[in-house]
Structure 1
Amino acid sequence: MLRSIMMAYLATALATGAGAPLSAAPPRSDADEASAKAEAALRAMRPEEKLALTHSLMPLPIGPNPATPPPEAITGAGYVAGIPRLGIPALTETDASLGIGYVFGLRKDGATALPSGLAQGATWNPDMVRRGGATIGFEARAKGFNVLLGGGANLMRDPRNGRTFEYFSEDPLLTGILVGNAIQGIQSNNIISTIKHYALNGQETGRKFVNVKISDAAARESDLLAFQLGIEIGRPGAVMCAYNLVNDAPACASDYLLNTVLKRDWRYKGYVMSDWGAVTSLDAALKGLDHQSAAEYDPARFFEVDIAKAAKRDPRYARRLDDMNRRILWAIYANGLDKQRASRGAPIDFEAHGQLALEMAKQGIVLLRNRQNALPLARTAKSIVVIGGYADTGVLSGGGSTQVHGQDGPAALIPIGGDSGLTALSQQYHRSAPLAAIRKLAPAADVKFRDGRYVAPAVHAARSADVAIIFATKWSTEGIDQPDLTLPSGQDALIEAVAAANPNTIVVLETGNPVLMPWLDKTAAVIEAWYPGARGGEAIASVLFGETNPSGRLPVTFPAAVADLPRPELDGMNTLETNFVGSPPTPDAKLSANYDIEGSDIGYRWNARTGRKALFPFGFGLSYTSFSATGLSTDGRKASFTVKNIGKVAGATVAQLYLVNRGAEQKQRLVGFARVQLDAGESRMVDVSIDPRLLADWGQSGWSIPAGNFGFALGENAERLGPVVTVRLPARAWKD
């Protein structure tokens, strides 16, 4: 979510054509206290004070109509005036999931950039993700913020989505567990985290008016289940609703999403804030919206001026105004914002935080191909040529509201579409150069660099080197989807030519989404490094030279072709001009996305349903050692099995448990997973729980499991499964 005013400012320039045991948050001992304090504060509020918390402004000096923030506001995403008379603190908001935004360029300070959401998802490590959340939560407090706009939980229905890199996975269980743990980590710092973008925010093209069509059952069994798990585990203080429409209603004014699902069925106690520029009418208040973000960027100040008038004449709005305040107050008190105030200027241990970013990047790198054990590279290699990808400068990061700058700003910044100064929409590289890290780990080698702009010099250098390492990049950003899954700027042709010249060619991908690989069979090895964050260059070199045994597993399917997607043409991509804002080109413009095509069968589930095979399936990843997973035993509620390292070096694997059939019905679903670190020859018994919702269907009366035989199998990935173990389960029905 980049603020809507920033979108408007850049629109013209850019218009170019667990399963694993659910680590649920422990019950808050102060939950009842928070509710009591919220009620007491609400009773003490004067009528005019009830308007203080229900709207915010954006204290950034950008856009055609920037707000004039009060002196105490901090440059960031949003500012909500508190009520000093009642000891209610102001809310100071910042982006986002991968680190603190709006630094360096606007504030002249820095923050730690964690690897992208996909990289974090590829760790399959809830503890690591929780530690990452705690890190950025700490930095948020140290910079004076007490609300972090993180917690991205959208599933990857289309890998061409420009925001794919921000999110964790295509699977509701993996996403729900990881986002819940990220939120736990963030809120451990006495600040509020959001979970976003609620819900079914599957594309950036026409994002403010695309109308998602999906059945209640399909939504509850997929995208909404990811949010539900994340809320249960992380207990976020706030939910940020999305720009898009869902079944004809704006997500921020959807009675179904906000009142029926979130507040009634899930009994959510926190508040719903809008995305910036997503509110179109006062009616959103009755539909469940509690807070209008950056109200100056909407058509009117609905939750300040308009709601004050409405509350005087209509008791429905008066009741809603009270409930809005009650929910916001609960989030403040439940997370201790009144007790532990954010301390601007507190010291940050950037070295320690950088080490965590390094370890996260190492765990998230996925080894996709390793012909004849081309990797790890020997440190005694005599000659290496490194080609392309700004590998001499840094590692790529994604654009938009998740853009983070280190203490010295970006290593390289390439303006996109006339972006002059608003660096969140520039292609940027973090200051962690893979070339320098490779030279450090291969001190005896002659390591040359070619920038890859021209094929001939790269081929000439590759032909005379022992090893050629090509860095291939694909930039992604909020606000702009990708037309296909190819590598841009002729990089496919470059890789093809270099691989023809040197059979020992290794490709390092820095991408924000899956890509096609027409050159795959001609390469020796391929690793997916994603956007690896502040220490990504060192992480990549560590994997290349075997200092780190790769253990990442794909959290998203790499399709074999765009034609294999449920919607081979992304809705609106070829009919709308690129528009970062995502507003309709004309007031009556319509755009629809039919998610009932795949329903709840996203990614690997779609392939299983339709008999397709992926280029690389969900859960795939190679290692420098080998593992076995055997002895599966399950009663349908929990499962146990043994994982063994049967290779010669220590490493980590991710054991994956799938439901593969339900009676005669073929239905593949990830129902459990465990990341396991083992020494060579070591084995370990693993236990996982199975959430019954993963075995069930959603209907008008809630969840139901039919009586019958259920088949489960352990998998190296979604397409490589072991023997099926069948268990008979009784019928069961329940509500959330």
Structure 2
Amino acid sequence: MGKSMRLAFAASWVIAVAAPAVLHAEEPAENAQQARARADALVAKMTLEEKLSLVHGLFPPMAAGKTDQELIPSAGHIDGIPRLGIPTVRESDASLGVANQVEQRKGDVATALPSGLATAASFDPEIAHAGGAMIGAEARAKRFNVLLAGGVNLTRDPWNGRNFEYLGEDPLLAGEMAGAAISGVQSNHIVSTIKHFALNSQETGRMVLDARIDEAALRMSDLLAFEIGIERGNPASVMCAYNQVNGDYACESKHLLTDILKTDWGYPGWVMSDWGAVHSTVKAANAGLDQESGQELDKQIYFGAPLKAAVADGKVREARLDDMVARYLTGLISSGAFDHPVPAKAQKIDYAAHAEVARRAAEAGIVLLKNEGDLLPLSGVKKIAVIGGHADVGVLSGGGSSQVRSVGGAPIEIPLGSGAASSFARITYHASSPLDALRKAMPGIQITFVDQRDVEGAKKAAAEADVAIVFAVQWTTEAQDAVNLSLPYHQDDLISAVAAAQPHTIAVLETGGPVTMPWIDKVPAVVEAWYPGQRGGEAIADILTGKANPSGRLPITFPVSASQAPRPEPVGLDKLNSLEAQAAANPADASDYQLKSYPVDYVEGANVGYRWYEQQREKPLFPFGHGLSYTSFAYRNAQASGGKVPSVTFDVVNTGKRKGAVVPQLYVKRDGSDSPMRLAAFQRVTLKPGETRKVTLTAEPRIVADYDTALPGWRIAGGTYTLALANDAEDRSRTFTVTLESATMKP
């Protein structure tokens, strides 16, 4: 069986038995074999210069005068070949919406989704698909046909500056959600990437660090998330990462790009580099890199004249160049981008309808962490004090390439004076005021606002109110990691002071990931709103007032302290700070003080996130999968089965008085194994009061298996396994024992 057919067979089999969600990838415009045949026929008609023109792309902000075709200010541009009908490609960053970070395109706005973590917290691939479809529609209307979306890097460290973009710490959840979002984007006949391949797990030293991990552990964690995402979403392109992996730059790693991605997985599309991630010509091309992106950000245009010379010298075979071009065209054809050109002029966008997509995603992803005494939803109160977080004007968003200039404008936008992100990131708020939304939702209630800098005023307002709501923020960004897990700007002290003045205090957190909560025992209600997007204020108000029932579940563990995590702070941060200090003291020689390659050893291996905490017997503040509701649910009549793949069938009952959603989760562990339990299936279930639904959770086979490098491939060891039907990663109130048959699967 050919590699592409093997991939299709494996994907369909896994989807049939294991997918916890109802939604899968859109059917590609043409299957991979048909698309490749068309691509090969086009390549056969090309001159050498035409082939070379397609394997490196411009970075528009630095590319004026380098093309006769129209340059739209954006992330990337590759000229088309009109005589062969090959379209011009225009690329936009698009993790959370069509990006326009520092307003390259004056006045151009887009719909801003909540952060990736917020979408992941919905545990609902339909939410992810709807968000992807919305972004893809806006991109096409703005004349972009490639979106740099599909971030699926696992959260290995809670302080990673880019955690907010991604989809959490579990490979099954991240892969399912990424695949759904990608298929949504590509339903518009445009390309989505999946990124950053692989182990782009911290921002400190991201251009030079060497991520070290053993093969089996990598296959069972980060690579499994990519594998599932590719199967579910059929992304037309894979973007390789900045960092090194086990000694090779990710964009020069033959093992990652050729052995695993293209051979083991049979991936038919093209591999593009991240912007500024190419370091060589011959090694990168022969390793499997197909296209150099944003060429102006590299030290030279490696895939231009140097590649031409390497082909002439035989250092890169011409057949390899043909394959690079054919893979690029295969991706364009199979996604529909080739045969469905973007419009010649920008199209009108229904921003009002798209705002509802963002609002629904925010509501589904907001997590009620604590609700002591049923303080929420708000009722029977006459006076509310809203404090801090700039809740009077908007909600916070994360920084970097994913920044969206949202409809409604930015009421707060603060440039950075220094740091790795200063050239392309600003501290930005979306114009969606929680204060205004609460006042609209609760007419007749006196709601006052106090700025976070006025601690005495906050204490006074809180004491005089029936309820105090403190909004606390933590800004994170691409290119920089959070230096610790504490809320900045003395907000921990603010929350403690307010809670001392008002026992009915609610903390609403707008953060890029986990934060510590030294005040947790004093605050009866805590809401994690993440970065909730351009309708975040309305979504928060809906949750607080009970118009929406909270249903989000944590896609990431919240530790009690940073010391519980595998690494308490960014690896290399001390070196970076020292070098920056030396460069500041010696500006004439600043280029001498650059961070050099250094190792980051991922000692947790495949035991990422909640698995690490279980293995280390550390009890976190809030576990993966945790989330409360305003109603109650019961699991009844559960029956487990084994055989080839374990499953549990049970009834879910809404035993409360409100409509709501619950996320039953299936965890699995082989008896006698030292490995912690693993999330093997999940499903979001929405029920009316008193409603019952029968659900079957069937384990993803690769979660049950271990990766065997000697095979090589996946091996399910025969024997007894323990299953847990759970509400979160710590819940062991419903366990079952089943017997599984031994089995192997190809890598």
- 2:303 is paired with a residue whose SS is helix
Q: What is the rounded CA distance, in whole Å, between the counterparts of 1:404 and 1:308 in structure 2? A: 38
Q: CA offsets, 1:415-437, max 9 Å, x none?
A: 22259997841111001000000
Give CA-to-partner distance per residue, 1:581-631, whole Å, 9 cap, x none: xx9975682321101x10000110011111111100000000001111231
Residue in 2 aligned with 1:45?
A: 46
Give the Cα–Cα distance (whole angstroms) in 2 for the partners of residues 577 and 594 of structure 1.
20
Tell whether the 8 Å contact from 2:20 to 2:683 is kept in structure 1 after alignment.
yes
Give 1:407 deviation, angstroms.
Answer: 3.2
User: Is 1:628 the equivalent of 2:626?
Assistant: no
Change (3 A) 1:612 1:419: closer
Q: Which runs of no fewer than 5 residues in structure 1 stay unpaired?
A: 1-17
For 1:694, what is the secondary structure of its paired residue? helix
The match for 1:33 is 34
SS of corresponding position for 1:667: coil
TM-score normalised by L of structure 1: 0.94
Which AA in structure 2 matches 1:468? A
Q: Per the alignment, do residues 53 and 29 of structure 1 end up closer, same or farther by CA in structure 2, a change over 3 Å counting?
A: closer
Q: Decide whether aligned partners of structure 1 residues 27 and 390 sit closer, same or farther in structure 2, where only a CA change above 3 A counts.
A: closer
Aligned pair partner of 1:98 in 96, 99, 113: 96
What's 2:223 paired with?
224
Matches of residues 644-663 of structure 1 in structure 2 within 5 Å?
644-663=653-672
- Aligned partner of 1:591 in structure 2 is 598
C-alpha separation between the residues in 2 aligned to 1:576 and 1:136?
A: 36
- Distance, in Å, in 2 between the alignment partners of 1:185 and 1:444 is 42
1:366-445 superposed matches below 5 A: 366-378=367-379, 380-417=380-417, 424-445=424-445
Partners of 2:327 and 2:466 in 1: how far apart? Answer: 63
Match runs of 1:491-506 below 5 Å: 491-506=491-506
Letter in 1 for 2:389: G
CA-to-partner distance for each residue in 1:539-564, whole Å, 9 max, x for gaps? 00000000000000000000111111
Cα distance in 2 for partners of 1:66, 1:100 equals 22
1:297-696 aligned within 5 A:
297-314=297-314, 316-343=316-343, 344-378=345-379, 380-417=380-417, 424-577=424-577, 586=593, 589-595=596-602, 597-630=603-636, 631-635=638-642, 636-663=645-672, 665-696=674-705
Change (3 A) 1:144 1:109: same
Deviation for aligned residue 1:408:
4.1
Amino acid at match of 1:692: P
One-letter amino acid matched to 2:508: V
AA in 1 matched with 2:608: I
Q: Is the 8 A contact 1:19 1:671 kept in 2?
A: no
- After superposition, the Cα gap between the structure-2 partners of 1:721 and 1:324, relative to the gap in structure 1 and judged at 3 Å, is same
Which residue in the other structure is 2:10 paired with?
none
| Partner residue, 1:721 | 732
Distance in 2 of aligned mates of 1:238 and 1:278: 16
How much has 1:346 moved relative to structure 2?
1.1
Range that drifts further, 410-419 or 149-158: 410-419
CA distance in 1, matches of 2:591, 2:739: 52
Q: For residue 622 of structure 2, what is the amino acid of its counterpart?
A: F
Q: Work out the CA distance in 1 between the residues paired with 2:527 and 2:356.
A: 21
Give the secondary structure class of the aligned counterpart of 2:542. Answer: helix
1:74 partnered with 2:72: yes
Q: After superposition, what is the alpha-carbon deviation per residue over 1:2-36, rounded to whole angstroms, capped at 9, x for unaligned? A: xxxxxxxxxxxxxxxx6515744365462133122
Q: Is the 8 A contact 1:105 1:423 kept in 2?
A: no
Distance 2:669 2:626 in 1: 17
The aligned amino acid for 1:659 is V
Q: Deviations over 1:410-456 (max 9, x none)?
A: 12112222599978411110010000001111111111110111311
Answer yes or no: is the 8 Å Cα contact 1:149–1:193 preserved in 2.
yes
| Partner-residue secondary structure (3-state), 2:476 | coil
Cross-structure match for 1:122: 121
Paired with 1:213 and 1:420, the residues of 2 have a C-alpha distance of: 24
Q: Which residue of 1 aligns with 2:61?
A: 60
Q: In the TM superposition, what is the alpha-carbon distance from 1:47 to its structure 2 partner?
A: 1.4
8 Å Cα contact 1:104-1:110 kept in structure 2: no
Q: 1:13 — aligned with what?
A: none
Residue equivalent to 1:697: 706
How far, CA to CA, are the matches of 2:213 and 2:594 in structure 1?
24
Give the CA deviation at 1:495: 0.2
Does 639-648 or 668-677 show the bigger shift?
A: 639-648
Unmatched segments (≥5 aa) in structure 2: 1-17, 581-589
The one-letter code matched in structure 2 to 1:72 is E
* Cα distance between partner residues in 1 of 2:420 and 2:665: 46
Q: 1:11: which partner in 2?
A: none
Distance of aligned partners of 1:400 and 1:585 in 2 relative to their CA distance in 1, 3 Å threshold: farther
Given that residues 212 and 592 in structure 1 are in contact (C-alpha distance below 8 angstroms), is that contact kept between their aligned partners in structure 2? yes
Q: Indicate how the Cα distance of structure 1 residues 504 and 579 shifts in structure 2: closer, same or farther if over 3 A, else same.
A: farther
The SS at the match of 2:287 is coil
Query: d(CA) in 1 for partners of 2:562 and 2:523?
Result: 22
* 1:302 partner SS: coil
* C-alpha distance in structure 2 between counterparts of 1:264 and 1:176, whole Å: 20
Could you tell me whether the CA contact under 8 Å between 2:575 and 2:595 is conserved in 1?
Answer: no
Contact 1:479 1:579 in 2 (8 A): no
Classify 1:67/1:567 alpha carbon distance in 2 versus 1 (closer, same or farther; 3 Å): farther
Give the letter for the 1:732 counterpart.
A
After superposition, the C-alpha distances for 1:143-179 in whole angstroms (9 at most, x for unaligned) are 0000000000000000100000000110000000000
Is contact 1:21-1:689 (8 Å) kept? no
| SS of residue in 2 equivalent to 1:721 | coil
Amino acid at match of 1:119: A
Q: Deviations over 1:515-553 (max 9, x none)?
A: 000001111211000000010000000000000000000
Q: What are the residue-to-residue correspondences of 1:252-291 with 2, within 5 Å?
A: 252-282=251-281, 283-291=283-291
Structure 1 residues 585, 522: closer, same or farther in 2, change over 3 A?
Answer: farther
**Shift, 1:721, TM fit:** 2.3
Mean Cα displacement is larger for which, 568-577 or 670-679? 568-577
Change (3 A) 1:265 1:641: same
1:392-414 CA distance string (max 9 Å, x none): 01000000000001234312112
What is the percentage of aligned positions where both structures have the same residue? 48
| CA 103–71 in structure 1, closer or farther in 2 if over 3 Å, else same | farther
SS at match of 1:82: coil
Residues of 1 paired with 2:170 and 2:424: CA distance? 28
Distance in 1, Cα, partners of 2:620 & 2:678 = 16
Query: Which range moved further: 514-523 or 313-322?
Result: 313-322
What does the per-residue CA deviation read over 1:329-359, in whole Å, with 9 as the maximum and x for residues that have no partner?
Answer: 1001111222211124111100000011001
- Checking the alignment, whether the CA contact within 8 Å between 1:116 and 1:166 is kept in structure 2 is yes
Contact kept in structure 2, 1:180 and 1:233, CA below 8 Å: yes
Do the aligned residues in 2 keep the contact of 1:22 with 1:233 (CA within 8 Å)? no
| Distance of 1:101 and 1:549 partners within structure 2 | 31
Q: Whole-Å Cα distance in 1 between the matches of residues 547 and 192 of structure 2?
A: 35
- Pairwise CA distance, 1:667: 2.8
**1:192 corresponding residue in structure 2:** 191
Instruction: Report the 3-state secondary structure (helix = DSSP H, G, I; strand = E; otherwise coil) of the residue aligned with 1:534.
Output: coil
Q: How many residues align?
A: 712
The match for 1:201 is 200
Letter in 1 for 2:526: V
Structure 2 counterpart of 1:164, one-letter code = N
Inter-partner Cα distance in structure 1 for 2:247 and 2:22 = 34
Aligned equivalents of 1:198, 1:632: Cα separation in 2:
39
CA distance in structure 1 between the partners assigned to 2:104 and 2:75 by the alignment: 12
SS state of the match for residue 478, structure 2? coil
Q: Displacement of 1:633 after TM fit? A: 2.2
SS at match of 2:599: strand
